[in-house]
Amino acid sequence: MDQKKFEELLCQHKSAVERFVYYRLPSKADGDDVLQEVYLTAFRKFDTLKEEGAFKMWLLCIARNKCSDYFRKSAKVMEIPLEETLETALSYSRFGITETSIVRETLSSLADKDKQILYLFFFRNLPQSEIAEKLHIPIGTVKSRLYTAKRNFKDKYPYCTVVSKGECSMKKLPEFMPEYKIEKSEKEPFPVKFEELMGWFIIPKLGEKVSWAQYDLPDRNITNLYSSSVEKKVVLHGIEGVEIKNIHRKIGDGSDKENVFYFIAQLTEEYCRWLGNRYCENGVEHIITFLDGKEFLDAWGAGENNVGEPVNIVPRSVIIKNGENIITDKSSVTDCVGRYTVYLEGKIYDTNLLISIFQDGPLTEQYIDKSGRTVLWRRFNRDDWKREYYKKSWSEQLPENDRLTVNGTTYVHWYDCITDYIL
């Protein structure tokens, strides 16, 4: 370890990380404690940093995680569960859409006192007198705090704000997923530049547009429709990128409502990555960026130190696919695993198959043609993914759907996506 270099870099960015921590914690004393943990962790892990230019972002990510640890410990003291899953809504991430808990996400946006009183009253079913005894406060204070907490919860619920109708100018995509056939080719994968944001099919360049749809299996019916367009150039934390407008419509629920949200992304000669996510909640605009640690990186981070996904697709032999069996020694990894012919909508596509495996989560297959565009995207769930919520394995929920195995673990085909590129 180059201790002198670490000290030089820390000196340059110390004031930024101090502001970051002090602004988030309730007292300077708590901030001082967290900062000591940040500096100790950074010192111990300094050898893992690949580029000195990424030191500030890397250090702030550590700080964000330590702040999250602080509040997580506080929640445990107040007996607030972090994994309640009651009602669900669509949630977005770099590996497509998934489900999230509306109640959990709304609770997470409340003050700690509100979380505490709501949990004790609604989830633990404690009478107000027992809550007063447990918290060592008068019962009148319990009533007042409960009234305030319920009002604050109502103001923030639902978490996903629905916005205007009629904005969507999406191309017509089929009502049902077209039949397709996939065949392994004996040819070697071809060199290709793949510049799409993985799982969202848009290239972060001015003027780019794409519409795409999700089809749930085995029924093959359309369930979600998207339109994305690159709107303008932006600079975020000194890094130049573009802002992408996304319009999402849920199909089949009778509402005909649209959600609008924004990505900030960057495309370089070597990488494509997300820089930030912007959305509106109850009339308030929220922005999370690559500096926001685990909150951002879990959903949008890609590559080591969030450098992004490489745009030059070449096999790295870190994923080996033999039929329906996959072998890898990585927990989260993306690799080109071979060349495949896709027969879809009366057309024949020569493609490379890009497989992404996410730790404890989904697996995706992305078939990319020589133009660097996605022809077909397929999502698989690990058999036990979110079983605590669904109460069943995915092989039980979707017994007819295709299977893959990764190091002996079963993954079940959930849904497919196609874009207007193939129309």
**Are 46 and 66 in the same domain?**
yes
- Residue 280 scores a pLDDT above 80: no
Residue 83's pLDDT is what? 41
Same domain as 218, residue 151: no
Residues 294 and 195 in one domain: yes
CB 89 within 8 A of CB 139: no
Q: Which residue has the tokens 């977005």?
A: 92
> Is residue 21 included in any domain, yes or no?
yes
Confidence at residue 82, expressed as pLDDT on a 0 to 100 scale: 39
Q: What mean pLDDT comes out for the span 270-281?
A: 84
Domain that holds residue 51: 3-77
Q: Which residue has the higher pLDDT, 20 or 123?
A: 20
70 falls in which pLDDT band (50, 70, 90)? confident
Q: Same structural domain for residues 418 and 292?
A: yes
Kind of pairing between the strands at 325-328 and 403-406: parallel
Assess whether 23 and 72 both reside in one domain. yes
Residue 167 lies in a domain: no
130 inside domain: yes
**For residues 381-408, average pLDDT:** 91
Q: What is the CATH number of the domain that holds 56?
A: 1.10.1740.10
pLDDT digit string, tens, across residues 356-384:
998 778 999 999 999 999 999 999 999 99
pLDDT at 174 over 70: yes
In a domain, 165, yes or no: no
In a domain, 305, yes or no: yes
pLDDT at residue 297, as a whole number: 75
On whether both 223 and 327 belong to a single domain, the answer is yes
Lowest mean pLDDT among 22-31, 122-131, 279-288: 22-31
Chain mean pLDDT for the chain: 83
Domain boundary among 57, 77, 97: 77
**Model pLDDT, residue 308:** 79
**Is 123 in the same domain as 199?**
no
C-alpha–C-alpha distance, residues 62 and 54, integer Å: 12
Separation of alpha carbons 130 and 142, rounded Å: 10
Q: Answer whether residue 37 shows pLDDT above 90.
A: yes
**Mean pLDDT of the region 195-216:** 93
| In a shared domain, residues 257 and 379 | yes
Looking at the fold, whether 145 and 271 belong to one and the same domain comes out as no
CATH no. for residue 128?
1.10.10.10
Low-confidence winner among 23-32, 220-229, 310-319 (lowest mean pLDDT):
23-32
Binning pLDDT at 50, 70 and 90, where does residue 256 land?
low
* pLDDT (0 to 100) of residue 103: 60
Of 177, 247, 176, nearest in space to 211 by CA: 247
Residue 88 has pLDDT above 70, yes or no: no
Q: What is the dihedral of CA 309, 312, 317, 322, to 10 degrees?
A: 90
pLDDT on residue 247: 93
pLDDT of residue 108: 64
Domain assignment present for residue 23? The answer is: yes
Residue 160 has pLDDT above 50, yes or no: no
> Do 136 and 217 fall into the same domain?
no
Query: Span 185-195, mean pLDDT?
Result: 94
- Please give the pLDDT value at position 402: 94
Q: Is 149 among the domain residues? A: yes
**pLDDT per position as a tens digit, 94-111:** 666 665 555 655 666 677
117 plus 229 within the same structural domain: no
> Could you tell me how many residues make up the chain?
423
How many domains does the structure of the chain reveal?
3
Q: 369: which residues sit within 8 A by CB, 6+ positions away?
A: 192, 349, 350, 351, 375
Take residue 301 and report the two structure tokens written for it: 């981070």
pLDDT computed for residue 166 by the predictor:
40
The pLDDT value given to residue 377: 96
Judged by average pLDDT, the poorest of 14-28, 29-43, 94-108, 379-393 is 94-108
Q: Where is pLDDT greater, at 102 or 242?
A: 242
In a domain, 135, yes or no: yes
User: Mean pLDDT, to the nearest integer, of 38-56?
Assistant: 87
Residue-wise pLDDT tens digits, 407-419: 999 999 999 999 9
Asked if residue 145 and residue 193 are part of one domain, the reply reads no
- Residues 166-185 have a mean pLDDT of 77
pLDDT band at 189 (very low <50, low <70, confident <90, very high): very high
Judged against a pLDDT cut of 50, whether residue 123 lies above it is answered with yes
